[in-house]
Amino acid sequence: MIVPLLRIDGLHTRLGELRVVDGVSFSVMPHQTFALLGESGSGKSMTALSIMRLLPEVARIQAGRIDFNGRDLLKLPESAMRDVRGGEIGMIFQEPMTSLNPVLSIGEQVIETLTRHRRLHKRGAREEAATLLQAVGLPDAAKRLNVYPFQLSGGMKQRVMIAMSLAGNPSLLIADEPTTALDVTIQAQVLALLRRIQQQRGMGMLLITHDLGVVAEMADQVGVMYAGELVEIAPRAAFFDHPQHPYSLKLFAALPDRTQRDARLANIVGNVPALDSEFIGCRFAERCEFAFSRCREESPGWTTLADGHAARCHLLETAAVPKSVSVAQTIQLAVASDKVLLQVTDLAVHFPLHSGLWANRRNVIKAVDGVNLHIYQGETLALVGESGCGKTTVGKAIVQLQPATAGRILLDGVDLSALGKRQLHQQRAYVQMIFQDPFSSLNPHLRVIDLLEEGMIALGVEQNAGRRSQILVGLMDQVGLPSRALQRYPHEFSGGQRQRIAIARALAVQPKLIVCDEPTSALDVSVQAQIINLLKDLQAEFNLSLLFITHNLPVADYLAQRIAVMYLGRIVETGSSEEIITRPRHPYTQALLAAVPSLTRPAAANIVNGDIISAAHPPDGCHFRMRCPLAMPICTERYPDEMQLSGTHSVRCHAVAQAERVAGLN
Amino acid sequence: MSWQPVVLWTDALIFSLAGLILFAFSRKHPHGQLHDAWQRLIQMPMAVASGLILLVFVVIGLLDSLHYRPQLPAQPGHAPQYSVEVISVLDTLLQPLREHQEKTYSAPLATRLYVKETMVQPGGRVLRDYPRLQFGGASLLHPQQDWQRDVTNRIMRGSVIGVLFAALLAAVGAGLLAMRRKCGLGALYRQLLGENNRLPWRTALTTLTILSVVIAVMVELAAAYHVFGTDKVGLDVLYNSVKSIRTGLLIGTLTTLIMLPFAVLLGISAGYFGGWIDDVIQYIYTTLNAIPSVLLIAAAVLLMQVYMEAHPALFDSAAARTDFRLLFLCMILGVTSWTGLCRLLRGETLKLRELDYVQAARAFGVSDWRLMWRHILPNLYHLVLISVVMDFSGLVLAEAVLSYLGVGVDPAMQSWGNMVNTARLEMAREPVVWWPLVAAFSLMFTLVLAANLFADSVRDAFDPHGRQR
Ligand code: SF4
Ligand code: SF4
């Protein structure tokens, strides 16, 4: 039998009063990846920090063993632990921006780890650092040693982080959400890199993530955490083939997917239970649809099935395995009319690179550079693209939060961008916005009722205070919050609830169009499902049009009738969701789709290379040509024109145009 | 009526400030973030200890800000006449100290003067010796023998009274707390000793005891001696330094009060509007910053002196004159010190302006001023509060420096700066007269240290970033 590389046994960690890790045991085998899957607050990161003994000050490990290479890490003195950290165990954090020291060059930082843990001399360390950076795919590594972190993109920084964690020749790598802050194409690159390095070095890896797709691509073993406890452990194939625990089942059902476009997403009702008290029954009982009386009285033990699959659920003991969770009734689909509500023509937003009295106003960043789009009444258009492509700026320009440099924004026939201050004020109610981060979009100093009333008062939607509060009570009910929540402050709510409040705030002024700027990307999968369902319901009820800005193609596909793909300030392909997802034509769209980690398809092989290019210096010709596998000479010369492929499908690409011409000739 | 109230400008301002603070406290903030921060603050032992000390200073300062003119002995047939001298409630409380004037210097707790004098004995003999003081230890028949016993007695008595007084206050406090928590005293006792008690009542009790013992001992001693000696003209130094508290407090608070509106308004506008408004405001404060502030203050104070001499009719009493000069000093200090806060607020507003909730409010067409008032200002409270408390001690010290340079408060006004200024000569004298400097220094030190410690706690409690969770 193989000896596990890392064995955790009965780990209990408390964060103040909270039992953030409550009896977790698992093993990581050498050469294998163990993925710890869980939503925020499940204790997965705390488990990782406990292994490294890097817990915040108020936290302490109460009990348990962490055996690594034959030693109990919890019993090591701090000085020995320092050798383990960054030496035998490497760690990668989620935020590459903050985990590199901004005032040291990346070479110095890698060399520092090398001299610390490998006792290399100066020259040797320098060469080794270059080799390492080369290995993580930093082009021109030897020359780039003197580069500072701010000169690198997020993906590159994460590569440097990986190089640093490899510097001590670790036998175990702990990766805490290593790609969550990255774009899909970059995420695919980094995941591929991690896989390659792991195979080359034969490391064990503990991967912490909330993303089922990442688990599917990376893991050998999967552990699902819920409320500080592991609830299911299984080999990957078994887990994806037949998950056992009701929580895992729900997680799968909550993922938006093509096949269930017309169905509601399964949402897990309620919230993760508070962790400050002892649990008597099953932690999931409050939210589990299979719960029965025993679940509330007795905490379920492990039931081991064949092939190393184990889960903690009373149902398994009785062998009545739930096959699937029920998914609620099909949703009433909003019928998009053929009345165009919003028509955006040649929209451009340029930012000056410098500001101030004597700035040169000719140097600009063309964040949005000639965007055309239209939305029908009651329709959802998804605007998809990676960070920095200008999609949020388009949204803000439509809501008139960002003055447009050029172009027309017609809402119901009124050109918003040409209106004076007074007239614009009257139109403001018709188009509203929901923001990405529900923690920064609600003023913490105002009560919910004040937040909601603000817009109604400012726009004169309802002058009578009594009727206003009646409307608000109704609204709260529609977004699924109790009306007593009106009197409370935002910080008393969870992320999902805050997003509901934000939605209610937008609805309060009876808009015709809502721009949703990544409203679910800061939320957990199960909560994301709730919000998406809610948006669908509300759209049907109020005949709303939605502009749904996202980087998440599956969500866009699930929610939208049409999708527009944006790259560096321009829309490169638009079409119905069906067309974009199943028959993408533009190489960028194809790359995006290939990069999405999938539960069913093996890890993508054809990943686009290169970083996202800054909008400050777009290349001549087609913006995508540096990363495009199909680039041709003509692509450097001019930007491709728009080409209609069908009534709804249009694309801007020379290669596609050529292919169509050839097809037309035959 | 045997007195006529006099409201000086600074009195009006300081009391409106106190009123404002009380009002802010009395309003209910059920569960806002600021409420949490206050909760955190009163759970910090350091904050409670330094806060109590500050409170004593504030009470003295406020008592000293209630001014009036006593009625002169009535002359039959005349309308009641009031004294030209404006005195405060504190003066009345310290009446003996004020009136027990000696001839010249005497050391702390001394029974004799600090300088020899020629005296004619009853027998006609001429003697050069240190004469007995008129008031200090006057009750002692044989100072050499009795002095030590008397002083020890008084210290003991003072300590006992202090402890008793502290116990009384603690009992009242416990009663109030029990009423607030709506439980019996026994239950309160158990709560306080329990594991979940967050209230640093032990620290509070200790500070309270120390404070009241010190005060009671002082009172006991001051009844018969000059605790800090007397100065050149024989005035009690303790009285002088206690009177200086008001000056220090006023400079520390009124300056901020005066500069705050400018700093807040300009800082927020600069950050919020950006563009040319931002440019103009930035140019103003960088220019102001470039002028050495001492120079600016000196110039302004000299100008004002000239003005006051040219228009003596504007001031009906000496108190009004010194008061005007104090107020003017606050203003000019305010003018030179608003830039720091303004820059800080501008930077923070730049960040806040981009926050989603500000954007959301703009999408609702909320007007700019309302937006700044409702969405930006409340999120700057903590910065304003922190910087106000931090500035306080700096300003108290600035007063000392400026008065020492001769451009501070009126020389006739009691202030630590003026005391330090006269101490310059006294330290050069042989034998050295050290006590006025020590008295001024120790009071100023206590105030500034307490203020600094309090400021640190305030920052820890209110700064959302610097806090460790
Ligand atoms: S033990 Fe009961 S409540 Fe818990 S997951 Fe299983 S069925 Fe649901
Ligand atoms: S125009 Fe050329 S470079 Fe651009 S996407 Fe098409 S083939 Fe690639």
- Mean pLDDT for each 10-residue chunk of chain A (666 residues)? 86 86 90 90 88 85 88 88 86 79 86 84 85 82 82 83 87 88 83 88 91 89 91 91 88 78 73 77 85 86 83 79 55 63 90 64 79 91 88 91 88 84 85 88 86 87 84 88 85 85 91 91 83 88 91 88 91 91 90 81 62 73 86 88 87 90 79
- For ligand 1, mutation pick of A282, A283, A286 (most atoms within 8 Å of CB): A282
CA separation for the pair B448, A602 (Å, rounded): 69
Domain carrying residue A366: 340-572
Q: Where are the beta strands (DSSP E) in A214-315?
A: 221-226, 229-235, 302-304, 310-312
CA separation for the pair A538, A331 (Å, rounded): 11
Last residue of a domain, one of A167, A195, A225: A167
Cβ–Cβ below 8 Å for A432 and B363: yes
**C-beta of A227 in contact with ligand 1 (< 6 A):** no
User: Which residue in B356, B363, B378 is closest to A445 by CB distance?
Assistant: B378
For chain A, the domain total comes to 3
**C-beta of A243 in contact with ligand 1 (< 6 A):** no
Domain carrying residue B304: 237-462
Q: Which atom of ligand 2 is nearest to the CA of A623?
A: 4
Residue A527 Cα, ligand 2 centroid: separation in angstroms?
38
Rounded to 10 deg, the angle between the B33-42 and B381-405 helix axes is: 50
User: Which residue in B32, B276, B365 is closest to A445 by CB distance?
Assistant: B32
CA separation for the pair A10, A7 (Å, rounded): 10
| Contact by Cβ (8 Å): A590, A584 | yes
| Contact by Cβ (8 Å): A570, A559 | no
CA separation for the pair B10, B16 (Å, rounded): 10
**C-beta of A295 in contact with ligand 1 (< 6 A):** yes
Q: Which amino acid appears at position A607 of this protein?
A: I
A313 and A344 inside one domain? no
Q: Does B198 touch chain A (CB under 8 A)?
A: no
- For ligand 2, mutation pick of A567, A570, A653 (most atoms within 8 Å of CB): A653
> Is A322 among the domain residues?
no
User: Which residue in B276, B355, B360 is closest to A433 by CB distance?
Assistant: B360
Query: Residue B364: its chain A contacts at CB < 8 A?
Result: 428, 432, 454-455, 458-459, 509
Closest residue (by CA) to atom 6 of ligand 2? A653
**C-beta of A193 in contact with ligand 1 (< 6 A):** no
Q: Does B368 touch chain A (CB under 8 A)?
A: no
Residue of A nearest to B352 (CA): A440
Cα-Cα-Cα-Cα torsion A72, A76, A80, A82, nearest 10 degrees, comes to 80
Q: What is the ipTM of this complex?
A: 0.77
Of A371-385, B129-143, B146-160, where does mean pLDDT reach its minimum?
A: B129-143
Last residue of a domain, one of A317, A332, A364: A317
Residue A536 Cα, ligand 1 centroid: separation in angstroms?
30
Q: Which atom of ligand 2 is nearest to the CA of A634?
A: 2
CA separation for the pair A243, A251 (Å, rounded): 10
A483 and A445 inside one domain? yes
Ligand nearest to the CA of A245: 1
**So what's the pLDDT on residue A564?**
94
The CA angle A239-A241-A247, to the nearest 5 degrees, is 50
A394 and A507 inside one domain? yes
Residue of B nearest to A509 (CA): B364
Supply the CATH number for residue B343's domain. 1.10.3720.10
A363 and A291 inside one domain? no
Residue B319 Cα, ligand 1 centroid: separation in angstroms?
81
> Is B178 among the domain residues?
no
Cβ–Cβ below 8 Å for A433 and B363: yes
Residue of A nearest to B380 (CA): A445
In three-state form (DSSP H/G/I as H, E/B as E, the rest C), the secondary structure along chain B is CCEEEECCHHHHHHHHHHHHHHHHHHCCCCCCHHHHHHHHHHCCHHHHHHHHHHHHHHHHHHHCCCEEEEECCCCCCCCCCECCCCEEHHHHHCHHHHHCCCCCCECCCCCECCCCEEEECCCCCEEEECCECCCCCCCCCCHHHHHHHHHHHHHHHHHHHHHHHHHHHHHHHHHHHHHHHCCCHHHHHHHHHCCCCCCCHHHHHHHHHHHHHHHHHHHHHHCCCCCCCECCCCCEHHHHHHHHHHHHHHHHHHHHHHHHHHHHHHHHHHHHHCHHHHHHHHHHHHHHHHCCHHHHHHHHHHHHHHHHHHCHHHCCCHHHHHHHHHHHHHHHHHHHHHHHHHHHHHHHHHHHHCCHHHHHHHHCCCCHHHHHHHHHHHHCHHHHHHHHHHHHHHHHHHHHHHHHHCCCCCCCCCCHHHHHHHHHHHHHCCCCCCHHHHHHHHHHHHHHHHHHHHHHHHHHHHCCCCCCC
**So what's the pLDDT on residue B467?**
44
> Is B115 among the domain residues?
no
Cβ–Cβ below 8 Å for A454 and B366: yes
CA separation for the pair A468, A449 (Å, rounded): 10
Q: Which amino acid appears at position B101 of this protein?
A: Q
> Is A588 among the domain residues?
no
| Contact by Cβ (8 Å): A81, A72 | no
**So what's the pLDDT on residue A466?**
87
- Which of B328, B343, B337 shows the shortest CA–CA distance to B293? B337
Ligand nearest to the CA of A229: 1
> Is A599 among the domain residues?
no
Supply the CATH number for residue A518's domain. 3.40.50.300
> Is A106 among the domain residues?
yes
Backbone angles phi, psi at A352, to 5 degrees: -70, 140
- Which of A346, A662, A615, A389 shows the shortest CA–CA distance to A654? A662
A149 CA: distance to closest CA in chain B (Å): 23
- Which of A409, A382, A380, A378 shows the shortest CA–CA distance to A396? A409
> Is B223 among the domain residues?
no
A163 and A267 inside one domain? no
Ligand nearest to the CA of A630: 2
Last residue of a domain, one of A167, A182, A212: A167
> Is A140 among the domain residues?
yes
A385 and A274 inside one domain? no
> Is B41 among the domain residues?
no
Cβ–Cβ below 8 Å for B279 and A505: no
**C-beta of A603 in contact with ligand 2 (< 6 A):** no
Cβ–Cβ below 8 Å for B357 and A437: no
**So what's the pLDDT on residue A362?**
65
Query: Given a cut of 80, is residue B63 above it in pLDDT?
Result: yes
Q: Does B375 touch chain A (CB under 8 A)?
A: yes
**C-beta of A613 in contact with ligand 2 (< 6 A):** no
> Is A656 among the domain residues?
no
Ligand nearest to the CA of A625: 2
Ligand nearest to the CA of A243: 1
**So what's the pLDDT on residue A105?**
87
Q: Which atom of ligand 1 is nearest to the CA of A246?
A: 5
Cβ–Cβ below 8 Å for B360 and A444: no
Cβ–Cβ below 8 Å for B374 and A444: no
Closest residue (by CA) to atom 5 of ligand 2? A653
Cβ–Cβ below 8 Å for B31 and A489: yes
CA B262 remoteness from chain centre: 23
3-class SS at A172? strand
- Helix (H) or strand (E) holding A72, with range, is strand A71-72
Q: Which amino acid appears at position A659 of this protein?
A: A
Phi/psi-derived region of residue A356, left when phi > 0, alpha when psi is between -120 and 50, beta in every other case: left
| Contact by Cβ (8 Å): A224, A230 | yes
For chain B, the domain total comes to 1
Residue A290 Cα, ligand 1 centroid: separation in angstroms?
6
> Is B131 among the domain residues?
no
Residue A584 Cα, ligand 2 centroid: separation in angstroms?
14
Closest residue (by CA) to atom 6 of ligand 1? A313
**C-beta of A282 in contact with ligand 1 (< 6 A):** yes
A496 and A366 inside one domain? yes
Rounded to 10 deg, the angle between the B237-273 and B275-290 helix axes is: 150
- For ligand 1, mutation pick of A229, A250, A272, A288 (most atoms within 8 Å of CB): A288
Residue B197 binned pLDDT confidence (cut-offs 50, 70, 90)? confident
> Is B292 among the domain residues?
yes
* Candidates A355, A428, A443, A547, partner chain B, best to mutate (most B CBs within 10 A): A443
Q: Does B85 touch chain A (CB under 8 A)?
A: no
Cα-Cα-Cα-Cα torsion A93, A95, A99, A105, nearest 10 degrees, comes to 120
Query: Given a cut of 60, is residue B1 above it in pLDDT?
Result: no
Query: Residue B363: its chain A contacts at CB < 8 A?
Result: 399-401, 428, 431-433, 455
Rounded to 10 deg, the angle between the B237-273 and B416-428 helix axes is: 130
Q: Which two tokens stand for residue A132?
A: 């390492």
Cβ–Cβ below 8 Å for B365 and A428: yes
B378 CA: distance to closest CA in chain A (Å): 7
A424 CA: distance to closest CA in chain B (Å): 8
**C-beta of A224 in contact with ligand 1 (< 6 A):** no
CA A371 remoteness from chain centre: 25
Ligand nearest to the CA of A622: 2
> Is B196 among the domain residues?
no
CA separation for the pair A190, A167 (Å, rounded): 17
Residue A646 Cα, ligand 2 centroid: separation in angstroms?
20
Residue A315 Cα, ligand 1 centroid: separation in angstroms?
7
**C-beta of A503 in contact with ligand 2 (< 6 A):** no
CA separation for the pair B231, B433 (Å, rounded): 9
